[in-house]
Structure formats: structure tokens, C-alpha cells
Structure 1
Amino acid sequence: MGESGKKAAATTLIKIEGLYKLFGNNPKKYMPLVHEGKSKDEILAETGHTLGLKDINLTINKGEIFVIMGLSGSGKSTLIRHFNRLIDPTEGVIEVEGTDVMKLGPKELEQFRRHKMSMVFQRFGLLPHKSVVDNVAYGLSIQGVSKAESKAKATEWLATVGLAGYEEQYPAQLSGGQQQRVGLARALCTDAEILLMDEAFSALDPLIRSEMQDQLIELQEKLHKTIIFITHDLDEALRIGDRIAILKDGEMVQQGEPEDILLNPADAYVEAFVRDVNRARALTVETVMKAPASRITADTIEEALKQMKGFKGDYGYHINDEGYQGVLTEETLQAAFEDDKKADLDSLQYEDLDAISQDAVLETVIPETLNAEYSLPVIDEEGQMTGQLSRQTLAEVLGNDDTSEDTAEEQKKS
């Protein structure tokens, strides 16, 4: 999954409010029917007009990968073309960095399209008679940048996407994956802040597609662009998206972070999308862990045992200023108390239980979670305990009854 938009405080870059698109000769005349709640099919039958988008409201944050997904005909490609006004709405507000895009005159709109947004197409959209480097430099050349500077910048971007040495080749000499890298380099070369990617990887073979997804995530970690990515593939959306919006018949049915959509589908339509997703690969520990409980902060055995007796379970997690230290059981503490109750806690009292990273993909921690006698402590990069993961939680999230062996015992301990 993309991480670009989750770490920093969100700053709204694009705002869409009350967006409607009715295709036909006289859309304004028939908009009252839309507001009355008539269906897409009823409006088409009565007026010959097609309802493309209905009351779309969303905000896109600076530096995030925002994925818009849905099946064919859901309105996702129509929506993305509203961002740079390749399509004008019938009603609604489109704001980019506080600027009302609908108020831009022809010249301003031209500048906006050239400098603010770049588009990456499904079928690459390369000019066959131009060399690879000239294809990449094309956006700069229409901005009026000198030929030498355009070529130098294009050469740099080709290297960034792994195509150094291909500058003088022609598109027909490249594979599909290489052509799409050229398309990506061309979009990046204009230095536009916003990338619009419409089914950009859909025409690629699965392996190449996966490589391009990896490359996009890798590039985004360095570039922090704002990327609006259209796809019909939920696996792709979950893999790259910071947030996802799902469209059906021109309406927004759900939007949220990937784990929200996976764990809490809004309706049967979204549920059908998420049913076949491998949750163990799509979710991280952080998205499913429970809040950390049974924390022991004492320094001495006597104080630790006193804290332990206040817990429901018979074990706890020792935490100090350095973060998570280890698991302590009531039985071990009791024995140490009888030996020397005033002694300081030390590693001799810890159970053999390693912490897991909150960023780990669930699939990688299944064996540890199932084999552990206790809920596994979860830590962040600094070693601070941020949660705990039990067999029971894993069983609930993955929906696999085989993992719920000894669940009653686990519940007692958690």
C-alpha cells in the first residue's frame, strides 16, 4: 500500500463538491429530474440524456495517492477528466489549491493543464515518429523550454524510471512495460504537481504491471506528488492507494483508507469487490492490532507484581523509557517476589517472546502469532509498544476458523 499520505498532516489540494454530469443536448433542462431522484435508466428513457456523475463530494490531500475505482461504466474516467476540465460538469465545484477551476478563462486553463496536471494514459499515448527522449521532452517543449534543457531533463527522468540508454530508440522498439515507463517519465518531466493516471497499468501483463506498481510507490516516496489513479482492480487500488473512492453508476458508494474498505465494506457492491482479496497480504499489523493492554511500568519486582494483580490476565508487557522490554508472567514474578521482592526487574524474568513491527504485512507474522502463548506485542520504529496482536484477532480478520484453535484460552489471556 502507498504510505505517502498517511504520515504527514493532511493538506487539502483538490476539493470536489456537489459534482453532477448529465450527458446530452440540454442537460440543464433535465437536471431537476436528477434532483428528484430519478434513476439513470429512467432519465435515459425519458430524456435521452445519460447520467454520468451524481453528487460527487471528495477531497484529495497534497502528496497522497488517491485511487478512484469501479467497474466499467461507473463514471471513474468521466470523473478524472473533470479535474483538468477535459469535461465540464453540469453542476458542482472543482477547486485546486483554493482556485475555482470553473472560473479559469481559455488562456488560464491552458496554463493550468500544462503546468499543474500531467496525464498518464492506458495506451501510453506516445508519438511513434519521435524518439524516446523527444517523447519525454514533449511536454516541456510546448511549455516553451529550450531544446537543450528539455532534452537534459528528459534524459534525467528516463534514468529515474530505469530507461537510461534508451533515449534514441523509438516507441515501437520498446516492450509495453518500457513504453509505459516512457509515458510516466513524460508526465513527471513537466514537473506538474498532480499526476492523473487513467488505468495507466491496465494494458500491461500481470508481472510488468506489478513492477510498475512497485516503481510508482518507490518514486512517490521520493517525489511526494499528488496522484489520482483510476483502476477497476481492487488489488491494485489496495496496493498503491493511500485512500480509495469506489464509484458505482456515477455515484460514490464508499471512500476511505484501504483497510477501512477491506474491513468495513459499505454495501453489497463493495463487499463483492473485497470478497476475494487476500487480506493477509493486503493488511498490515497496525490496521488490525488492538490497543496495548496490561502494561507494566514498574522498576521493581514488588511494584510489578502489584500492577499485575490489577490485570484480568496473568501476564503483562514491561515498558520503560526505552520502550517495550519483554513479557512478564504473574507466576515468574511471584517466584521472584518470594526470592527478593525489592530487587529490580531484569531480563531474567522475561518470557521468550519477540515483538513484531506495526508495519509488517499480516502474512509475515501468522506463524509467530499462532505459535505464541500470548498476544504478540507490536512496536513502532522507535521500539515503543503501540498495540498487541492475538490469535483471536487474526482469526477474526482473516475469517479462517483453523486459526481460532484455543480461542477461548486466548480470550481469557487477552
Structure 2
Amino acid sequence: MGNGTSAVVDAAQRARVAAADLAPLARATKDAALHAIAAALENRTAELVSANADDVARAADAGTSPAIVDRLTLTAERIAAIAADVRHVAGLPDPVGEVLRGSTLPNGLDLRQVRVPLGVVGIIYEARPNVTVDAAALCLKSGNAVLLRGSSSAYSSNTALVAVLRDAIAAAGLPADAVQLVPGESRDSVTELMRARGLVDVLIPRGGASLIRTVVEGSTVPVIETGTGNCHVYVDAAADIDMAVDILVNSKAQRPSVCNAAETLLVHRDIAARFLPRALDALADAGVTVHGDPAVLAAAEASGTKAAVIAATDEDWATEYLSYDLAAAVVDSLDAAVAHIRRWSSGHTEAIVTSSQPAARRFTQLVDAAAVMVNASTRFTDGGQFGFGAEIGISTQKLHARGPMGLPELTSTKFVVTGDGHTR
């Protein structure tokens, strides 16, 4: 093995030892470590801002877009907010040890299924250095060791952050190796992490579609796929038009660069003539460009809307824009809307606006997604909004965890069976 390979394997082996030490720790011990992390972030803010400045300067020199540079940047205010988030995680219930089900069997055996940590969690993520701290805090609270592989664009920031985290948890009595930055800046280190089956228990990719696809397709370690969001808003024939316009604009334009923003509008033909003129004008006011099917283009021309409407292609139905763009189509029925969603959805969040309970019920039964909204914005698919306090990501797969992943989703279970000399 080359140096990069052995360094990654060595880090994973040390994480495995640390995970075994973390698993039995009491909540108070873990919470004390999280409070120590928050204090250390605040006390070493100048050091962190200085390290981050190196990354920001490199990104600017490379011609990186202002939006990405902004996501990369750490300020004193942002570090204070990150520290507050860590304290918030400390205040959340500890999932470890929770009994999910239990019974006394007819033969007298006592059976309990309890939550336990996953073990070693690898996180592969892009530019945002705040993810370094968020992921570490959530993993520690749930009793897991974490291997962090951020993007090379944030390497100086992440190196400094992980140094602060390790010092803080070591001072609080936790193994420093419970939090590690995966060694190396090359793609080789990512590949080694993805192939560390038996040392790493699960990988969670956080980032764009291409990163997630690379990890899902190339990893021998089990992967929890966090989602790209090709999310739809379906306006039913029985929709309240005012409500539908508000939900649509919020879903699309409140923050278009996130995975729970709407990317496609579907409108029932029976309401299209009344709804589309209002909707197109409201989208125009929000700065949204609409990529419409022939029926939407015809409605735009007939209404004289001020909206920018261009012809949609099949590529538009498949696109997660993450921008002020929206695909739009008129459909003949609720079932036609469901068929469109089944073909193009990424399984993240789908919404229906309707005053018909039968329509709402049928939509929620037929649509296959991590979250289905009835008369609510797609933007609510979020761990904080769901009351989970924090999330490691939003899972669009079906195994183990689906939807916003809070602390319970960072655990597995074990069965504890207690007998009194029982033999079979």
C-alpha cells in the first residue's frame, strides 16, 4: 500500500478503537464534551478565521463563484452560530439505550431491542466547513466515531476545526480519535475511505448529485444516500388558488439553492386557466424563470404575464436547478401528476395543494418519497423544522433511514435477551 492508503486505513483502525470506547458512555459525559467543543470554538475563533482565510483566498484566486466562496467563509459570527448549534445538540435526547420494543416471551425469556451506535461513520462532503462541526457533534452525541473527508477547497479550515474538536474532547475525557480528518487531499483518500469495509460501518455523502453518485456507485462500505431534491408541487383541481400560489412561491424561491426547494410545478387542467396567470406573475415577482410545456406556454401567452417563460425539454423534468428556475406542466388528472412524479422524482419531497381529502389521501398513498406534503411548502423537509433539532442530511433511500436524519438515525439496534438458565 502507498502512504495515502495506509494512512487512511490507520485512521479508520484508530476510529474503530475510539468507537468501542464511546459506545458505553453516559449522556452526561458526551454532553460535557459537546459543551467543551462549543467553548473551544469560541475561544479559538481567531485561529479558525485565519486558517479559513487561506481557503477563501485560494478559492477566490481560482475564480470560484461568489456563492461557493460565501459557503466556504467562516466569520466570528458564523463560528458563534456553529458553537450555539453544538450546544443545541447537547440538549437533545440521547438515543443510545432507548428500548424500541420489548416483551417477555412465553418461555420466560426477557427480550429488548435497544438503540446502539452505528460505530464508525464516514462523512464525505463539499465546501461548507460548518458540516465538519455539525457532523462531529451529531456523531459524538449518538456514540459514534467519525471520519471526516471534506473537500480540498476547505482543507485548511477543516484541519484547524478538527484540531480544535480533538483537543476539546480529549480534555473532556473522550478519545481524541473519535474525531478525525481523513488524511490526504487527493481523490485516492476518498477511494480508500469508500473501500474500508469492515473498518467503516457506514458512509454518508453530503453534496451535489455527482458526489453522491460517485460514493454510491464506488463504495464497498454501506452508504446512506442523502438526497438530491427534484421536488414537485402539484396543484390539484380542488386547490385554493391563494394558498397554492403562496406554497409554490415559498417552495421555489424562499431559498432556491437547497435540496428541499421545488423544481417542478404540475397543475391540474381544470384549474390551470385560473391558477397559472396568478402563479406566473407571482413567480416573475420572485425572479423565477419558468420552463413550461406547451399548455403552460399557451397560458402565459394568453394571460400576457410578465413572467419569463421558455419551452421545457425532457432535461428540465430531470433537473435539480438549485436556482431561480422552475419546470412547469399541465396534467389531466391527479394520477397523471403521480405518473410524472414517479418518472422524474428523486424521492425527496413531493407536495399536493388541495381542499379534497380523498385527493390528498390518494396522493400520499401513491407518491413514493421520503416526505409528502399536503397543503405545505416543500421547504419544511428539514430536521430542525421537523423538531429533530439537527440533522446529518436528508436520506432519499429506503434502508435504515429515510428523510431528515437526526440522532436516532445515527444508531442501529441490538437485541438483549435475558434468561434464567434457559436452554433450547
Global fold match (TM > 0.5): no
TM-score tier (shorter): under 0.3
Higher helix share: 2
Q: What's the TM-score once normalised by structure 1's chain length? A: 0.25
Q: Which has the higher contact order (CA 8 A, sep 6+)?
A: 2
Which structure has the bigger radius of gyration?
1
Q: What's the TM-score once normalised by structure 2's chain length? A: 0.25
